[in-house]
Every structure is written in structure tokens, then in C-alpha cells.
Amino acid sequence: MVSKPLVYIVIGSTRVGRAGPAIAQWTRDIAAARSSTVDFRILDLIDFNLPLHSPHIPITGYAQGFVFVTPIYNGSYPGVLKLYLDYLKKEWARKPVGIVSYSHRGGDRAAVQLKNILRSSLQMNVIDPPVLMKLDDVFPIRYAETEGPLSDQINAIVDKICQSIEARTV
Ligand SMILES: Cc1cc2nc3c(=O)[nH]c(=O)nc-3n(C[C@H](O)[C@H](O)[C@H](O)COP(=O)(O)O)c2cc1C
């Protein structure tokens, strides 16, 4: 049996009490319902215990696409997510990546900065637009919703990721 292409939905926060896992799970549920051709799985950075200084280690470089689920921390995305990005180099190039970003006021600043790095330094195929979520608006009810404006935005990202993977494999 041929295995499906893998896309990781990366939880970009690791603090105690984080909202990230619930938002990532919600994103994955929508993605899994939308696509039968791609295997969407959660990747929790807390499981890696990333050291600060390391050589290039191609962990997870085999995935064919990514969705980064990231909060705003002090005007940017969390350091643990940058640490993860710095682990890989050529493995990122040309792969499709979506961004789901959140904070109490919306995730715009994390998304803008992350997008720049992914595009200009890592040569990724960044899917626009990112999903920007205000936690006050969405918590906790909408995590269970699979229909609505936010779900439509996730679906748009999923469709573009699947198209990009298909185009790369033919
Ligand atoms: C260290 C830290 C810094 C934060 N800085 C900002 C910020 O600059 N702007 C903002 O809108 N929210 C900020 N927040 C609020 C977070 O976006 C919000 O708490 C979110 O739930 C954090 O994601 P997490 O729960 O997955 O860790 C900050 C939260 C933390 C923990």
C-alpha cells in the first residue's frame, strides 16, 4: 500500500497551560475531514526537548508540508518554534506551509514575522492568507466547530497545501 503524503500540524508553544494543542487539534480535525489524499498529523514540539545549540538534524524533514499553529509571544512567535526552524535547512525548501496564529487580540504580528522567515530564509511555499484568531472570540466553543468562517479559512489552506503537494509529486 502506498502511504499518503504527510503534513505536520506543528504546535508552536510549549508552556504549561497553553492553548496551542486545542487549536492544533481543531485544525487537524478540519484538515482530516477536508482531505483524503494527505495524512495530517499533529507534531508537538514539547516532545522533542530541543537543545539550544545543535548541529543540523533532519528531524521531521521527511514531511511534505506543514501548518504552524503559533501564538504571539512578545510581538513575535515563540522561541521554541524558531529553534525548531533552525534545526532544518534544505528540508524546508519549496514545501508548502500554512500559518494559524492566535492571541487575545489576533495573531497578526506572529504571522507576519513567521511568514518572512519561512519565505525569504527558508524558501518555503507560504500559503496566503494565514488564519488569524482572536482567542476571546473562539475559545472554547469554536474548537469543536467544523463549519464557519474560520473553518473556511483552514479549508482554503488545506486545499492549497494538497494542490502544492500534488504538483510536486507529478
Ligand atoms: C510570554 C508571553 C508573551 C505574550 N505576548 C503577547 C503579545 O505580545 N501580544 C499579544 O497579543 N499576546 C501576547 N501573549 C498572549 C498569548 O498570545 C496568549 O496567552 C496565548 O494563549 C499564548 O499561546 P499558548 O497558550 O499556546 O502558549 C503573550 C503570552 C505569553 C505567555
Q: Are 45 and 81 in contact (CB under 8 A)?
A: yes
The C-alpha atoms of residue 71 and residue 133 are separated, in whole angstroms, by 9
Q: Is 18 in the pocket of ligand 1 (CB under 6 A)?
A: yes
pLDDT of residue 5: 96
Instruction: Check pocket membership of 104 for ligand 1, CB cut-off 6 A.
Output: yes
pLDDT, one tens digit for every residue, the chain (170 residues): 678 999 999 999 999 999 999 999 999 999 999 999 999 999 999 998 887 876 666 678 899 999 999 999 999 999 999 999 988 888 999 999 999 999 988 879 999 999 999 999 999 999 999 999 888 766 555 566 677 888 899 999 999 999 999 998 76
Ligand 1 atom at minimal distance to the Cα of residue 20: 26
Dist CA 160 CA 24 (whole Å): 18
Q: How far is the CA of 106 from the centre of ligand 1 (A)?
A: 10
CA-12 nearest atom, ligand 1: 26
Among candidates 81, 137, 161, 70, which has minimal Cα distance to 109?
Answer: 70
* Residue 74 CA to ligand 1 centre (angstroms): 7
Domains observed in the chain = 6-169 (3.40.50.360)
- Can you name the residues that pair with 65 across neighbouring β-strands? 7
DSSP annotation string for 69-85 = EEE-BTTB--HHHHHHH
What's this model's pTM, rounded to 2 decimal places?
0.94
Please give the angle made by the CA atoms of 131, 11 and 166, to the nearest 5 degrees: 65
Is 24 in contact with 75 (CB distance < 8 Å)? no
Nearest protein CA to atom 22 of ligand 1, as residue: 71
Distance 1 CA to ligand 1 centre (A): 43
Rounded CA separation 129/154 (Å): 10
C-alpha 100 – ligand 1 centre gap (Å): 14
CA 117 vs. chain centroid, Å, equals 14
